[in-house]
Chain A
């Protein structure tokens, strides 16, 4: 017989239980190096080769050499194992190895692990990487189950409760959430389209973006083929071959390195009280279809940072789909729940709006490195080197928040 548990309602816990004072990490670490490969549809190279290129660039950008790296953090869905990189780069001084996930939830949480490793004395300079052949290799938008599988589900996946109904892809899952947002709040396709269009506008000023040189207006968006209604082709992110890497160290050491430090003001991970067991699609069993784990992540993050949504100058919001951005704008408090549609239609997310987003083009138009390219672009904004630089940007919110538990961080300049 199990011990009886006393459940506290959803209102209890979170934030109330974890105080900013209990985790003193504010501005104590910084991202000091960033690296990126070309983003393409077919890299013609292994994921390890891509990870090596991005990592060497990040380490060099930080003014360090591989032997200086003593910690490494991997995303659980990466095909590159930590030992692959340690071996190939000659990282012979590794004393901390971390891993986080699932998938797109990882990047900010991976930086959080690097911070924790550094502040607890387990490492001094941590490499964080993400590498994938997301178009030419393993495609995350493909159907979840091979057609020749004898039976689907079991073993805690709960897949048996949805795969037999043809619910097979993340896009279909987000389409069901988008429909409910339209039902509850009157959100329209024209409004939703403003998100991919904003991302495309940014990509057209970023020569490294996959969709650079391909302008898109509302007619192009609405005229594109429907994939899983109400989501059309351009509501879906790109599939990308490429890699990104970061180097994290202490703020003190960062000030002696060549680049202006992007201080990690705060980082947070959080789950929901109603998170649900099982694979991915179980999120549709939650009471609310229109609130993401971004909501508790945002509350904890802002408390730890001592900041609020009004203090954020620019945001890189995880955009596996357009609707994911709309829900996060509400969940992070940039507008009220249900008002995301009119908020984006008013131009708020454009460069001259109240909260410019995804300034390199995001997953929708720059490339899909599973949330990691958002952190790289966040660092560029703090350095003042973005191709869509927000004038005077001092704070940048970066989210790695899709459906399961989420994570996010706030970067700020050392001014």
Chain B
């Protein structure tokens, strides 16, 4: 696997509806948006589609998940992502309906529904994102 030919793609981290995930990642915490009614909102929206409240809070979760699916990308498209690399899609242990993405280098050996764990990748001085790897 070669070195990236471009700097990482940095996410917008201050969006009203999605920013708190990145704020928490910067302090090494994985959070999800939970409404007072119990609805977990992901993709997060400020307005709760279940009860109509906008009073949700972001709460820490364990960072444990299972592997829903993955694909190893072998066709180079973007200079920030040299191939091969593997995109993983995980389902959170406490809230299986919450799906998140991660990226693994190369062509790892993976098994459906295997346990995964979060880690936090510092993409820039002020930007961290949750990442996922096989639980070790």
List the interface of chain A (C-beta within 8 A of B).
Answer: 1-5, 7, 142-143, 145, 147, 149-156, 158-169, 172, 175-177, 179-180, 183, 225-231, 276-278, 282, 284-285, 287, 289
Contacts and interface: CB of A to CB of B under 8 A. Distances in A.
Given A177-B69, A225-B74, A287-B97, A145 B51 contact: no
Given A180-B68, A183-B112, A228-B72, A149 B9 contact: yes
A177 B71 CA distance: 9
Nearest to A282: B43
Contacts of B43: 158, 161, 276-278, 282, 285
24 contacts: A2-B47, A2-B52, A4-B51, A5-B49, A7-B49, A143-B77, A143-B78, A149-B9, A151-B11, A154-B15, A158-B43, A160-B22, A162-B101, A163-B9, A164-B123, A165-B87, A165-B102, A166-B78, A172-B87, A226-B72, A228-B74, A277-B45, A282-B43, A287-B97
Nearest to B77: A143
Contact of B99 (A2, A151, A225, A285): A285
Contact of A164 (B9, B71, B74, B79): B9
B129 interface: yes
Contacts of B42: 285
Interface in B69-119: 69-75, 77-81, 85, 87, 89, 97, 99-103, 112-113
Given A152-B11, A153-B15, A156-B17, 19 more contacts: A142-B77, A151-B11, A151-B12, A151-B13, A152-B9, A152-B10, A154-B15, A161-B11, A163-B11, A165-B102, A166-B78, A166-B81, A166-B85, A176-B71, A180-B68, A183-B112, A227-B75, A276-B43, A278-B43
B71 A228 contact: yes
Interface of B: 6-15, 17-18, 21-22, 42-43, 45, 47, 49-54, 68-75, 77-81, 85, 87, 89, 97, 99-103, 112-113, 123, 129
Given A149-B9, A172-B73, A183-B112, A167 B101 contact: yes
B54 A2 contact: yes
A226 B89 CA distance: 20
B15 A5 contact: no
Instruction: Name B's interface SS.
Output: loop
A163 B103 CA distance: 11
B58 to A, nearest CB: 14
A160 B70 contact: no
Nearest to B73: A228
B18 A161 contact: yes
A152 to B, nearest CB: 5
In order of increasing CB-CB distance, the 7 nearest A-B pairs are A154-B12, A160-B11, A175-B71, A166-B81, A143-B78, A183-B112, A4-B52
Nearest to A182: B112
A176 B50 contact: no
A353 B105 CA distance: 43
Contact of A153 (B18, B73, B123): B18
Contacts of A168: 77-78, 81
Given A285-B43, A289-B69, A145 B101 contact: no
Contacts of A231: 71
A164 B127 CA distance: 11
**Chain A CB within 10 Å, residue with most, of B15, B49, B70, B129:** B15
A2 B68 CA distance: 35
A179 B9 contact: no
